[in-house]
Structure 1
Amino acid sequence: MWRAKLAVVLSGVLLTAAVQAVDLSAHMLAKGTALIGVNGKQHMLRAGQTSPEGVTLLSASRAGAEVEYEGETYTLTLSSHIATSFVEAESIEVRLNQSHGGHYRTSGMINGQSVNFMVDTGATAIAMGVGHAERLGLNYQSGDQGMVNTANGPAHAYGVWLRSVAVGGITLSNVQAIVIGNFGSQDILLGNSFLGNIDMSTENGVLVLRAVQ
Structure 2
Amino acid sequence: MLRKLLILGVFAGTSASIPMLYQSNPQMLDGLLKSAAGFKPDVEAPTDVNLATVPSKPATSQPLGRKVVVVADARGHFTSTFKLNGRQVDGMIDTGATLVALNTSTARRIGISLNASDFRHQVNTANGTIKAALVTIDRLQIGKISVESVQAVVLDDRALRTNLIGMNFLQRLEKYQVENGALLLVQ
When the two structures are superposed, what TM-score results if normalisation uses the length of structure 1? 0.55
Per the alignment, residue 161 of structure 2 pairs with 186
- Between the aligned partners of 2:167 and 2:114, the Cα distance in structure 1 is 19
Given that 1:155 and 1:182 are in contact with CA atoms closer than 8 Å, whether structure 2 keeps it comes out as no
- Between the aligned partners of 2:141 and 2:118, the Cα distance in structure 1 is 22
Per the alignment, residue 73 of structure 2 pairs with 99
Q: Alignment partner for residue 173 of structure 1, among 118, 124, 148?
A: 148
Matched, 1:195 2:153: no
Q: What is the CA distance between 1:143 and its match in structure 2?
A: 5.2
C-alpha deviations, 1:128-162, integer Å up to 9, x for none? Answer: 11121122220344757311122332211011111
Q: Which has the larger Rg?
A: 2
Q: Alignment partner for residue 163 of structure 1, among 115, 138, 142?
A: 138
Q: Alignment partner for residue 154 of structure 1, among 129, 137, 150?
A: 129
Q: Structure 1 182/115 Cα, relative in aligned 2: closer, same or farther at 3 Å?
A: closer
- Between the aligned partners of 1:105 and 1:182, the Cα distance in structure 2 is 18
Given that 1:20 and 1:93 are in contact with CA atoms closer than 8 Å, whether structure 2 keeps it comes out as yes
Specify which structure has the higher proportion of helix: 2
Q: Unaligned 5+ residue runs, structure 1?
A: 1-12, 22-91
- Between the aligned partners of 2:73 and 2:135, the Cα distance in structure 1 is 30
Q: Structure 1 182/112 Cα, relative in aligned 2: closer, same or farther at 3 Å?
A: closer
Specify which structure has the higher proportion of strand: 1
Q: Percent identity?
A: 32
Given that 1:128 and 1:183 are in contact with CA atoms closer than 8 Å, whether structure 2 keeps it comes out as no
Q: Alignment partner for residue 59 of structure 2, among 1, 4, 15?
A: 15
Q: Unaligned 5+ residue runs, structure 2?
A: 1-56
Per the alignment, residue 109 of structure 1 pairs with 83
RMSD across aligned positions (CA): 2.1
C-alpha deviations, 1:39-94, integer Å up to 9, x for none? Answer: xxxxxxxxxxxxxxxxxxxxxxxxxxxxxxxxxxxxxxxxxxxxxxxxxxxxx111
